[in-house]
Structures are given as structure tokens and as C-alpha cells.
Structure 1
Amino acid sequence: MSLDLEWFWAFLVAFVRASGLTLVAPVFGSRLVPVPIRVGLSAVMALALAPLIQRYTGTPPTEWLPLLARLIGEALIGVVMGYGVSLIIGAAVMAGEVLDAMMGFNLMQVLNPVASFPTTLLAQFHYMLAMTLFALVNGHHWLLVALARSFETSAGLGNLSAWADGSLHMAAQLGGEVMMLCVQIAAPAGGVLLVVDGAMAAVSRAVPQIPVWLIGLPAKIAVGIIAVGASLPGLIAVSMRMTDLSLRYLENLLRLLGV
């Protein structure tokens, strides 16, 4: 009976942590994936992991308050794992938003079918490209591997003070790297658009009678689209670096958990 209780506790811990991951992680956290599918996926992962992690999870707390605190901590670990990777993928959206603002596309909003939030045209394009490349390089598989490895400690969040300090440092470092990725994605086409803006400003100042901004806007959009197309090989390379950053983030998180 004790073994059955320990197995159920291991299953519950794995289910809660996997549910937190599938709530916000790329691919799994898409609004296109129905909630019952996410719950079923979390249950399947928990069933597969329960016999393997039973020696790490130990026995459940006997009091309700420690039990609830442990489960909340498990859910938080899963959410942090998934949200960090989603934030890295979001660098592509930020870059697209910048280019949309420079080209005037920010006046046109489309619905993101994956996240179900309104976004602009190039932001949508960059997001879908980044998600496709993430899936092609098996990024979602690495998420599942990280989830399995995260159970190699029985302490949960462990020392909350050390966890908080390490989390703040990791979040600050991650934020800087995400901003750098955003700049790298937007820089090629953005630089071309800045040159076009400068040329239009010079013509407008030299010949004030010509409505440069009205005439030049279609040309600016055309040049911007050509620049985005020409920068696609570099964008793919940057997207691969996004995957590398995701793996490093998961490794640092596992190290923070004591794995």
C-alpha cells in the first residue's frame, strides 16, 4: 500500500509540473491545442515518468498546507520552464513589431492563430517562422527531456531565497539576450528602411512641393518587403540561435533546481 501511495504521489507531482509546462510552452501551449488534449498529454507524461521519478519524489507530506505548497511549487517550475522558452520565441514577434512600425503595417492587425492575440503582419510572419523552426529542430522534444530531468531532485523549489536570487539573475540575463536577438532579427531590414527614411527626408527638404511621404510610402513598403525577403537566410540562422538559447536556458534552470 505504501508503494501505491508513493506511485500516486509521483504521478501527481509529475502531472502538476507537466500541466504547468503545457500551459505556456511553445507548441504545447498553443490555443489551437484544446485543453482536454493538454490535460491528456500531461497525464500521459506523468504516467510515463511516475515509475522513474518515484525515488526522487519520496512520500507526500502529511499536512495539507505543505502538500498544497509543494504542488504549487511544482506547477511554478513547469510554468517557468515553458514561459522562458516562449519568451525567447517572442523575440521574433518583437522584431516583427519594430519592422511593422517602420513600414506602416502597425495600422493593420491580424489574429495570431497560435496564441489568439492580435498582432501585426510581419510580427505574425516572424512568429510563425520561429515556431516552425523550433519544431523542426525538435525543440519541443528537448522541452520534454528537460521536464524529465527536472525531477532528478526531490527538493522541489528547495531554498526559496537561493531560488529567488538565481531566478532574478537568470531572468535579467535572459532579458538581455532576448533583446539582442530582437535587434539581430530586425537590423538588416530595419537598416534599409532607415536609409529609405533618410532619403525621403532629404528629398522632402530639397523639394518641399513634392508630397514625398504620400508618394514614397508604397515604395517604402515594397523596399521593406524586399529587404525582409533578402534577410531570410540570416533570420533562419538567428532562429537557430534562439533554439540554442532555449537549450541553455533549460540547462541553467535545471542547474538552479539542483539537477
Structure 2
Amino acid sequence: MIPSLSGSAIWAFTGAKAALWVLVLTRLTGLLAAFPMLGSEQMPLQVRAALAAMLATVILPVVPVPPTIPTGLPELVGLMTSELAIGLLLGTVVAWILEAVAFAGMLMDTQMGFSFVQFVDPTTSQSASISGSLMTQIAALLVFITGLHHQMILALVDSYRVAPLGQGMPLQAMGLIALLGQLLAKGFQLAFPVLAVLFLLDMILGISGKFMPQLQLLQLSFPLKIALGMVILGLVLRELGPWLVPLLESAPRVALKLLGG
């Protein structure tokens, strides 16, 4: 063996660096797994693994080194679990914003009558509404257009200041519950124009049917609600970008706040 590599101190240093790289890779894997599009099954596993390994190698030099790095397998597995949970939380904040958009689309489709025409979304392998799938795809494009994927990687680096290695996951449970409520309210806010206009249409048709019983309301309401709903949906799509960009820009700050930052 080469004399410079035979010392136990060299091997201990190398093992500590390898363990640190694995921990950084674990937190980064959680972020990429929950992040929209990047964690999708449509992206090949080899590409996702290579991207995570490359980013972990780039981030490693700026990660604060903890006083002690566990070398035993049980301690390392426990620490990897908390690191994975932190990464998942960072990526889930962005995923929940897109879920709020999908929730708004589901409400719109229910009111327009499109809830009967659901299909399997190839990106999630789950049933999706037409309007929800359309708006979710636009929202996913806005994620990359606004550079949010870069900001979330920077937020992951900053998360080592808020949640250092080896100190577990300092989750703010009440903040997480409040975030869920806010996103549900935002989803309802996005769907409100369609819901309000179609509710008024239902009232008008109900009053008309009261005074003109000969009207075939069932046959008349479906094409009217679909046509009017599509017009309002087109107007909503025009304002989707300005409505969504502030939410996406606040995602890194909100994610760090949930960790106590």
C-alpha cells in the first residue's frame, strides 16, 4: 500500500467526508423527489440519480461540517431519515402550490360539468380533471420560467443554517397546518370567478324554469354552463401567471420558515 494512504487518520478523514456527502445527497434526494417535474416518473431514474449526485458534489464544500459525524450504521440511518424528511418538506411546499391549482381546476370542472370526463394524468398516474391538468401544466412551466428550481436549491443550502446536520428536523407543525389552509383558500380564490358566474347562471335558469315550465332546463343548462365556463376559464388563464408568480417566489422563504428559519 502507498505509505501516504496507510495512516488510519487518512482513512478516518475520507470516511467522514463520504458520510457527509451521503447526508447531503439524502437531503437533496428528498427535495428532488417531491419537486414537481424533477421527481416525476417521466424523468428517467438514471438522470435523477446523476443530477442528485452532481448537485451533492457541488453543494458539499459549502455545507457546515458538524462537530461529529456518525460512522456507525444505525446512527447514520437515523440521521439520513431526518435529512430525507427535511428535503421532502422543501420540495413538498412547491408541490402543494401546484396542488392548489389542481384543486381549483377540480372545482371548476365540477361546476361546468367536466367532472364526468376525467382521465389518467401520465405524470402522476392518477385521475385528473381537464381544467386542473391544463392549469397544473402551465404552473409547472412557470416554476422553471421563474427560476424557482434554482431558488429551491439555494434554499436547501440555506437550510443547513436553519436545520444543521445532526440536529433532527425542527418542523413548525402549526405553520404547516396554516400553510395548508392558505393554499386551499388560494385554490378556491382561483376558481371563484367560474364558480360565481355559473352559480348566477343556475339562479337565472332556476327562476326562468319557475316562470316558464316548458323550458327543458337540463338540456339547456349543459351547453350554456360549458360555453360560459370556458369563456371565464380563458380569462382566468390570462391572469394565472400574475396570480401564481408571487406564490412561487415566496416558496423558498415559506419552506425555511417551516423549519424554524
Q: Which residue of 2 aligns with 1:202?
A: 207
Gap change, CA 1:241 and 1:183, over 3 Å in 2: farther
Superposition pairs of residues 220-259 of structure 1, within 5 angstroms: 220-254=225-259, 256=260
SS at match of 1:150: helix
After TM superposition, give the deviation of residue 118 of structure 1 in Å. Answer: 1.7
SS at match of 2:43: coil
Unaligned runs of 5+ in 1: none
After TM superposition, give the deviation of residue 59 of structure 1 in Å. Answer: 4.1
Q: Which residue of 1 aligns with 2:7?
A: none
Q: Are the counterparts in 1 of residues 83 and 168 from structure 2 also a CA contact under 8 Å?
A: no
Moved more, 224-233 or 59-68: 59-68
Distance 1:193 1:114 in 2: 30
Q: Which residue of 1 aligns with 2:60?
A: 50
Moved more, 111-120 or 131-140: 111-120
Distance 1:81 1:57 in 2: 21
SS at match of 2:103: helix
The TM-score with structure 1 as length reference comes to 0.89
| Residue identity matched to 2:29 | S
Work out whether 1:77 is the aligned partner of 2:86.
yes
Work out whether 1:89 is the aligned partner of 2:89.
no
Unaligned runs of 5+ in 2: 1-9
After TM superposition, give the deviation of residue 32 of structure 1 in Å. Answer: 1.5
| Residue identity matched to 1:226 | V
Q: Are the counterparts in 2 of residues 193 and 224 from structure 1 also a CA contact under 8 Å?
A: yes
Q: Which residue of 2 aligns with 1:7?
A: 17
Q: Are the counterparts in 2 of residues 14 and 45 from structure 1 also a CA contact under 8 Å?
A: no
After TM superposition, give the deviation of residue 56 of structure 1 in Å. Answer: 2.3
After TM superposition, give the deviation of residue 159 of structure 1 in Å. Answer: 6.2
Alpha-carbon deviations, 1:44-70, whole Å to 9, x = none? 1111122222x4245421433222110
| Residue identity matched to 1:78 | G
After TM superposition, give the deviation of residue 222 of structure 1 in Å. Answer: 0.5
Alpha-carbon deviations, 1:115-168, whole Å to 9, x = none? 2322010011111111111211011111111112222367447366xx35x2x1
After TM superposition, give the deviation of residue 233 of structure 1 in Å. Answer: 3.0
SS at match of 1:199: helix
Q: Which residue of 1 aligns with 2:45?
A: 35
- Taking every aligned residue pair, what percent have the same amino acid on both sides? 24
Distance 1:58 1:153 in 2: 16
Alpha-carbon deviations, 1:16-65, whole Å to 9, x = none? 11111111112311221122211111111111122222x42454214332
Q: Which residue of 1 aligns with 2:181?
A: 176
Work out whether 1:20 is the aligned partner of 2:30.
yes
Q: Which residue of 2 aligns with 1:120?
A: 129
SS at match of 1:56: coil
Distance 1:44 1:152 in 2: 21
Distance 1:130 1:80 in 2: 19
State how many pairs are aligned.
251
The TM-score with structure 2 as length reference comes to 0.89
Gap change, CA 1:58 and 1:9, over 3 Å in 2: farther
SS at match of 2:128: strand
| Residue identity matched to 1:181 | K
| Residue identity matched to 1:243 | L
Gap change, CA 1:133 and 1:193, over 3 Å in 2: same
| Residue identity matched to 2:193 | P
Alpha-carbon deviations, 1:87-141, whole Å to 9, x = none? 1221100000000000110101123233232201001111111111121101111
Q: Alpha carbon RMSD of aligned pairs, Å? A: 1.9
Of 148, 171, 175, which residue of structure 1 is paired with 2:157? 148
